[in-house]
Amino acid sequence: MQKEMIVSSSLSVCFEQQTVLDKVNFKVGQGEVFALLGGNGAGKSTTLKTFLGTISPTSGSATVMGMSVATDIDSIRRKVAYLPESVMLYGHLTGVENIEYFLSLADVKKSESEIEQALLRVALQKSAWHRAMSNYSKGMRQKTAIALALLRDAPVLFLDEPTSGLDPNAIDEFNQLITTLASEGSTIFMVTHDVYGACQIAHRIGLLNNGKIVGMFERGNKTHIDTEEVHAAFSARNKQ
What is the tens place of the pLDDT at every residue in 64-77? 999 999 999 999 99
Q: What is the pLDDT of residues 152-175, one digit of tens each?
A: 989 999 999 988 888 888 888 889
**204 residue type, one letter:** R
Q: What is the pLDDT of residues 22-74, one digit of tens each?
A: 999 999 999 999 999 998 889 999 999 999 999 999 999 999 999 999 999 99
User: Could you tell me which residues come within 8 angstroms of residue 127 by beta carbon, excluding any fewer than 6 positions away?
Assistant: none
Q: Are 118 and 186 in contact (CB under 8 A)?
A: no
Would you state the pLDDT for residue 44?
A: 94
Name the pLDDT band for 239 (thresholds 50, 70, 90). Answer: low
Q: Return the closest-CA partner of residue 204 out of 180, 185, 184, 182.
A: 182
Would you state the pLDDT for residue 17?
A: 83
Q: Are 24 and 78 in contact (CB under 8 A)?
A: no
> E strands within the chain?
4-15, 18-29, 33-37, 59-64, 67-68, 80-83, 156-160, 187-192, 204-209, 212-218
**pTM, rounded to two decimals:** 0.91
Q: Tell whether the model's pLDDT for residue 238 goes beyond 80.
A: no
Q: What CATH number is given for 4-88+153-239 in this structure?
A: 3.40.50.300
Largest CA distance in the chain: 54
Whole-angstrom Cα distance, residue 199 to residue 197? 5
What percentage of the chain has pLDDT greater than the value 90?
75
Q: Tell whether the model's pLDDT for residue 3 goes beyond 80.
A: yes
What length is written for the chain?
Answer: 240
